[in-house]
Amino acid sequence: MLRSEAVVPQFLRGAVSKKAEMQSDPTAIVESVTGTELLELDVPLSSSAQGWFAQTTLRKWILILAKFAFFQAFVQALGLAAGLLIVRTLPKREYAFYTIGNTMLSTILVLADSGISSALSAIGGRVWQDSRQLGSLLNTALQLRRQLGVVTLIGVAPVLIWLLTQNGASRLTEVGVVIAVLAGSGFELVTRIYSIALRLRSEIRQIQKQALLSALVKLAIVTGAFFIFMNATVAIFSVVIGYAVQYGMLRRWVHREVDRSAPADPAMRSEIVSVLKKQAPHSIYYCLEGQIMIWLISIFGNAEGVANVGALGRLAVIFALLSSVLAEVVLPAFARIQSVHHLRRRYIQIVAAYTSLAVLSIAAVAVFPQQILGILGRQYSGLHAEGVLMAAYAVVSTTAGLLWGINCARAWIVPPAVLIPCTIIVQVVLISFLNLSTVKGVLLFSMCSWVPNILLSLWLAMKKMWWTPVVAA
Cα-flanking dihedrals φ and ψ of residue 28, to 5°?
A: -130, 145
Does the pLDDT at position 37 exceed 80? Answer: no
Residues 6+ apart with CB under 8 A from 8: 16, 30, 39, 41
Cα-based distances in Å from 45 to 25, 50, 56, 117: 7, 6, 13, 35
pLDDT of residue 179: 92
pLDDT of residue 226: 84
Confidence class of residue 470 from pLDDT cuts 50, 70 and 90? very low
Cα torsion 308, 311, 313, 315: sign: negative
241-276, pLDDT tens digit by residue? 988 988 888 888 888 878 777 777 788 888 888 877
Cα-flanking dihedrals φ and ψ of residue 242, to 5°?
A: -60, -40
Cα-flanking dihedrals φ and ψ of residue 29, to 5°?
A: -120, 125
pLDDT of residue 317: 64
316-352, pLDDT tens digit by residue? 666 665 666 666 566 666 766 767 777 788 788 888 8
151-166, pLDDT tens digit by residue? 888 888 898 898 888 8
Note the maximum CA span of the chain: 72
107-116, pLDDT tens digit by residue? 888 888 777 8
175-212, pLDDT tens digit by residue? 999 999 999 888 888 888 888 887 777 777 777 788 88
User: What are the boundaries of each domain within the chain?
Assistant: 4-45, 74-279, 316-473
- Choose from 8-22, 45-59, 85-99, 382-396 the range with maximum mean pLDDT: 85-99
pLDDT of residue 52: 39
Quote the mean pLDDT of the chain: 75
Higher pLDDT, 123 or 51: 123
415 CB-side CA count, 13 A? 4
Does the pLDDT at position 29 exceed 80? Answer: no
Of 150, 111, 420, whose CA–CA distance to 284 is shortest?
Answer: 111
